[in-house]
Amino acid sequence: MATEEAHADDRLEVQPSLEAGSIGFLDAVSIGLNATSPAYSLAAVLGPIVVLVGVAAPGVLIASFVPMLLIASAFYFLNRVDPDCGTTFSWVTRAMGPWFGWMGGWAIAMTGVLVIGSLASVAVRFLLLMFGQDDMASNDVLVMVLSVLLILFMTWICIVGTSLSGRIQTVLNFAQIAALIVFCVVAIYKGLSGQGLAGAETPSISWLNPFGQGSAALTAGLLLGVFAYWGWESAVNLNEETKDSDSTPGRAAILSTVILLATYVGTAIAVLVLVGPTFLSDNAGEEEMVFALIAREALGGWGWIVLLAVAMSAIASTQTTIIPASRTALSMARRHAIPGYFGSISRKYRTPAVSTWWVAGIAIIWYVVVSFLSENALYDSLSALSLLIAFYYSLTGFACAIYYRKLLFTSFKGFLLIGLGPVVGAVLLFWLLILSGIEMSNPENSYGGVSWFGMGPPLVIGLFLFALGVIFTVSSRIANTPYWKERPSVVDPDLVPVSEGGDEA
């Protein structure tokens, strides 16, 4: 047995490294943005948020941004002292021990599995709609086949090279942001010039108040907002392949969240000015397709521009969502938390080929099986995402303060950005995790309104994935690999990016 473990160690040691310096700052920002899939996220959540809170939608999107920015600060400072592609897995393990670390890594991997198929499906449908192929877009079997092919193609690009992925992401990012800017400008112009639909609203500073419709509506809106912002940390998962790996990924992540804030709030205002909340309420059953209807109202025959933006957004996110899961699996394999096989790196492309194909394969299986169960089940699996997202983001926030705990009071600026901010963000997200679970427990809140074991399907899916993670964690612990001998520690003071006088942070 000892000999087999020694051979496994040898195999890991001779693995080639990831291609350092293949991603620059601009590419990192693009990857962070595209992982959130801005145009698709807007198409998916803007309508439901407006239905919940009306004209307070821009304010809710601002409120949703606050915990994201605070957790982005945690990602920035943890990456400064530990630029590991496993991000949350590595950092939580160092700060809180292997049990929490393993579950954090599992949560990241499962978010990718849940959403990749849906992203590919949206990309295919919107491309078909853009070319006027409405009948093909409504053919579920055809869309499924094309979506699987798209996932395989984007997975291949991820493996062929990180620098190629970065360049593709930059092009896709500019395409969708440019399309959204065109839409916003035209929509606001039409709305202000009296060409909007009946029920269109006049802009007001009160729209930025997230509390306009009460706390219950705000909570539900925040859950959707968190989903809209999720994914910006993908740039940090590429830290080992990014130039200036200790600082560039963290700065790119923070800038990504700020750009997303401006994009989301601007688009929300444009939609309210053009069509108003009544239009969105009347078309609430259209899901993300309501964005296509709004695009046609704004741009007429040029509405295909927004359809293209959503398609490009979903394609880009199909690729970037694979990155966090595959890099996390690589990091876990290097630390012996999972079998070393998953840590294999392509000698030709210097990317984690094995873990990347595994992530894609499991995501395809999940997408196909759940789609055959029902379309509602696919939407319910997306709803379960909020549980996993809030879990690993809150873990990261707590880990930041715990890892830096002996140095928090050496700098006021450091205390705010490394201690208080991440903890507040973690508490907010943990609170949303609890509220999300309570909401999902009611079957009537699911897409199909059906009951699984007396609970809503999204909660059942979330609990199933958490339980499966616990089973794998215990199995790994029983194997007693070197990973389980790691103990919580504190940051090395020599690595701390906060000077004694508090000049840096």
Rg (CA), the chain: 22
CB 411 within 8 A of CB 498: yes
Residues of the chain with pLDDT under 50: 1-13, 498-505
Q: What is the pLDDT of residues 296-321, one digit of tens each?
A: 778 777 778 878 888 888 888 888 88
Q: How far, CA to CA in Å, does 214 sit from each of 62, 76, 205, 433? A: 16, 34, 17, 19
**pLDDT value, residue 227:** 80
Q: What is the pLDDT of residues 341-366, one digit of tens each?
A: 888 888 887 888 899 999 999 999 99
**pLDDT value, residue 247:** 82
CA distance 125 to 416: 45
Give residue 291's Cα distance to chain centre: 20
pTM, full prediction: 0.86
Q: What are the chain's domains?
A: 28-495 (1.20.1740.10)
CA distance 6 to 111: 33
Residue type for position 445: N
**pLDDT value, residue 504:** 46
* Cα separation of the two ends of the chain: 47
- Give the residue carrying structure tokens 């194997």: 479
CA distance 125 to 246: 39
Q: Which of 157, 159, 137, 155 is nearest to 146 (CA)?
A: 137
CB 181 within 8 A of CB 43: no
CB 79 within 8 A of CB 318: no
